[in-house]
Each structure stands twice: as C-alpha cells, then as structure tokens.
Amino acid sequence: MAHHRWLALLALALALAGPAAAQTLRIGILGPMAFVQGEHTWHGATLAAEELNRAGGIAVGNQRYRIELVRVDTNEMTSVTDAATAVERAITAQRVDFLVGGFRSEAVLAMTEVAADYRKVYLITGAALDGILAGRVDRNYDRFKYLFRVSPTKSSDLARTSLLLLGEVIQAVRRDLRVERPKVAILAERAAWADPLVETASRLIAAPAPQGYASEVVGTWRPSATATDVTPELTAIQRAGAQVIFTVLSGPVGVPFGRDWGRLKIPAAPVGINVEAQQETWLKATDNLGAYVATLNTLAPSVAITPKTIPFIANFQARFRQFPIYTASGAYAALYILADALQRAGTTAADAVVRALEATDYVGPSGRLVFDRTHDVTWGPGYTTGLGVQWIEGRMQAFWPRQWRVGNQVVSYAGVRPYQLPPWVVEAWRR
C-alpha cells in the first residue's frame, strides 16, 4: 500500500513536471562585447529574451521552448579571424541553435560564411554593407538563404536617407540665411562604403532642382576613419566658405570632428552620417562641443516611430540605464522575429524556419520589418525609414521625417521638431 502511495506521488510529480520542463533554444548573441555596439546587441537580446520567457517561452508545434542566450564575444573590432572563430566555436562547442548580432561589415562577411557552412539561421543586426546579402542570397540561395538583416538598413538606403537629411539642411540655409546657392563641403572618411555616397552626393548637390539641390560643392575632404585630428580639414572647409558640411563618418574620427568643429565654431552646419553622434555619450565624448551636430539615426528619445518604440526605450533605459543604439533595437526585434517565425514554422528545422522568416511582417521599435528577396529589411515610407536627429539643448532631437512627401504619402513621426541651424552659422551668414 505504501508503495502504491509513493508511485502515485511520483506519477503526479512527473505529470506536473512534464509541461513545465520546457526545452531550451540556445541563441548565440554575437558582437564586440567590450564596445558599445556589442554591449547593446547583448542588452537588446536580453530584454527580448526575458520578455519572451516571462510570457511562457516560444510555442513551436506542441512543444514550449525557453530562450537561453549565449554571449559570444567576436572581438571583431580588431580581428576578423577572431570573429569567424568565435562563430565556429559558438556553433560547435557551445551548441547554439540560432545566431543574432554582428557589427563590422568586414567581420560579418566572414561570420556569415561560417553560419552558411553550418546551415545556421543568422539574423544580422549591426552591419550595413549591401553585399553581405545582395549578390549572395539572390545568386546563391541554397548556400546563403540562412542569412537575414534586421538592422540597420543597407548602405545604399542609408545613403538615400542621409541625402534627404542634407536636403533639409540646405533648405534651412536657403530659408533662414537667404543664401540662394548654398555651399556644401563633403567630409567623408576614407572607406569603401563611403565612396558611392560621396559620388552620389557630389552629383545631387550640384544638379538643378527638382532632382538635385541646386547648390555648390566647394570641396571633398577624405580623412582617415581613425584620424584623431581634423583641424586642418576644418580650417580649409571654413576657408572654402561652406555653409553646410555633409559628413560620411562611421569611424572614431566622428568624435574629433564634432569636438574641433564646436571648439573652432566653424560656420558650417554638419549633417549626414556620424555614427559617433548617434550615441547618448556624444556630448560627453566631445566635451559638450558636439551640440547642433545632425546625423542619421534609428531611435530618438520621445519619438514614437511605432507603438512599440516608446515602451522599448523606457524598458531598456529602466533595465540598463542607457539609451539604446540601433544594435539594441535590432537584436530586440530579431528575437521577436525569430520567435514569431518559429511559431509559424512549428519546427526548429532550419529550412522551415527560413521559409517562415521570409514571410515576416513584424512591427518593431524602429519600424515595420519586411524582408525583401535578398533577405534585407525593406526601406521606405510604411516600412523602416530611419530618423534624422540633432543635438539640441543637451539632448538628441529628431528633425526628420517631418512632412516628408513621397508621392501621395506624407510621412511624419510624433515628437519630430524642426531642424535648427547652429547660432554661430546664422550669425556668420545671415544677410
């Protein structure tokens, strides 16, 4: 009799434990973890994993999975080889089921080769180079179909957006300074991704309206991406009489640029891409001299791109005491997209998950995410656009898209304010 009672209890315990003992999905989060880009990839993924687990995990078929994140430091800032090795180790030794992250395009190219070798689904959240997907997924689908890019939008789309931002500033110069034909200096770091942008910008700036900006290019300066001093460049730009500086900077040179520009009060308004100015540490890094700098960005405080933007920013800030950069919102969205695809696929088998991912239509914190035929995130009105932000009164404020007209569509996000020319630029040029 006593035996029976024990057996019954055991059976009851097993019955209770059965559904609760969910399986785990191991997701490798890739990034340079000593740097803000990797750190935020990890934070964004952590936030999503916690939310998904709290909601009971992911239902795949009739099985429930809890998410377990595996932190994979790729050391990709210094070594592409290290990055590829880290991915290989994550797959073979740490037994991850899926991959999310990556930041430097050169490193991600190597990392995606490894992922493709092992047929692991890899959602990229940091690198922008078009060629990571274009020319690979479309031309060699069977090998590269496992790769998707959640963020950022690809280089050529970043170029389109940054040129739209330049248009806003040229308009402000015309309107506020009454300069008929504004002069623009191009300051672009020496890097492959910047070359087409310089070429397109030069053409568009000089071309007559409505296709072009009917302005003048006074020169193109190409410092190294790691230059620590751009004073000679800025002195020359000032001498050239520019009212606007179109920046194409992703490397550390963005910081000395902002600091020297602010310190010397160069009378030309900077706009374009400056990755360093996208981070909340910008003013501190530039000794508060980077005020009025404008750059393309993904998120800005109090700007609701979608209904999920503000809650995401608030939760992220409450949890990590920092403002999220794009790798954070990218990794956060990537986990939800993956969870959604797994649920729809009803299996964790890679090929079925790929097909489900291809059918993704997900509204994340930074826009609506739909993959195109190269598995790249779709750019444009109604999808993901990016933001134009400017540093005003000690904080990052968005100035674009604001009454952005595309055909019959007008795109505006709540919380976007007009662009402001730096006061010393106004003082120097107002007629």
Residues that bind another protein (CB under 8 A): 32, 34-36, 77, 189-190, 219-224, 226-229, 231-233, 235-236, 238-239, 252, 255-256, 259-260, 263-266, 276, 281, 284-287
Tell me the one-letter amino acid at 422. Answer: P
In the complex, the smallest distance separating the C-beta of residue 230 from another protein, rounded to whole angstroms, is 8
Give residue for tokens 């069977």.
142
Phi, psi of 406 (to 5 degrees): -130, 105
Nearer to another protein, 70 or 77 (CB): 77
Q: Shortest CA distance to 158 belongs to which of 273, 266, 247, 28?
A: 273
Q: Report whether 19 contacts 65 (CB < 8 A).
A: no
Q: Which residues, in sequence order, are CB contacts of 383 under 8 Å at separation 6+?
A: 367, 368, 369, 370, 377
Nearer to another protein, 263 or 373 (CB): 263
Nearer to another protein, 295 or 360 (CB): 295
In the complex, the smallest distance separating the C-beta of residue 161 from another protein, rounded to whole angstroms, is 24
Q: Which residues, in sequence order, are CB contacts of 28 under 8 Å at separation 6+?
A: 70, 72, 87, 90, 91, 94, 96, 98, 99, 100, 101
In the complex, the smallest distance separating the C-beta of residue 278 from another protein, rounded to whole angstroms, is 13
Nearer to another protein, 286 or 309 (CB): 286
3-state SS class at 61: coil
In the complex, the smallest distance separating the C-beta of residue 191 from another protein, rounded to whole angstroms, is 9
Q: Report whether 364 contacts 332 (CB < 8 A).
A: yes
Nearer to another protein, 281 or 302 (CB): 281
In the complex, the smallest distance separating the C-beta of residue 235 from another protein, rounded to whole angstroms, is 5
Nearer to another protein, 238 or 374 (CB): 238
In the complex, the smallest distance separating the C-beta of residue 231 from another protein, rounded to whole angstroms, is 6
Q: Write the Ramachandran bin of 287: left for phi over 0, alpha for psi from -120 to 50, otherwise beta.
A: left
Residue 238's H or E segment, with its range, is helix 231-239
